[in-house]
Amino acid sequence: MDGAKARLVCRVRGRPMPESVAWNRDGKLLPLDDSSPQYAATYDSVSGDASLTIGEVFPEDAGVYECFAENKYGRARTKAQLIVEGASL
């Protein structure tokens, strides 16, 4: 819903477990630092739980989001499409 919070979740597995994950939207890496408070990412390297939270979604946030994980043996990814519906009155 336009203006609402969105949360995307993925579970990472590997031996060894990846040390970090990265997220992108429509092929472009998302800024996950203090310069972009719109996005907040978490990753627990013990459980493998990773999430991306978007504070307020708007139509321009719609797209294909990908979660990437990498260890010394390779790289894996998963993706999901986010569709943003208009605000209800």
Q: Is the pLDDT of residue 88 over 60?
A: no
Residue 76, H or E segment? strand 74-82
**Residue 3: predicted pLDDT:** 81
**Residue 87: predicted pLDDT:** 54
Span 6-82: which CATH code? 2.60.40.10
Closest CA relative to residue 63, chosen from 23, 11, 34: 23
Q: What is the DSSP string of 14-74?
A: -SSPPS-EEEEETTEE---STT-TTEEEEE-TTT-EEEEEESS--GGG-EEEEEEEEETTE
Beta-sheet strand order (sheet of 63-71): 28-29, 21-25, 63-71, 74-82
CA gap 79, 10 in Å, rounded:
9
Global pTM reads 0.86
- Write out pLDDT tens, residues 5-60: 999 999 999 999 998 899 999 999 998 877 777 899 999 999 999 999 999 999 99
Question: Where do the structural domains in the chain lie, given as residue ranges?
Answer: 6-82
- Write out pLDDT tens, residues 61-78: 999 999 999 999 999 999
**Residue 41: predicted pLDDT:** 93
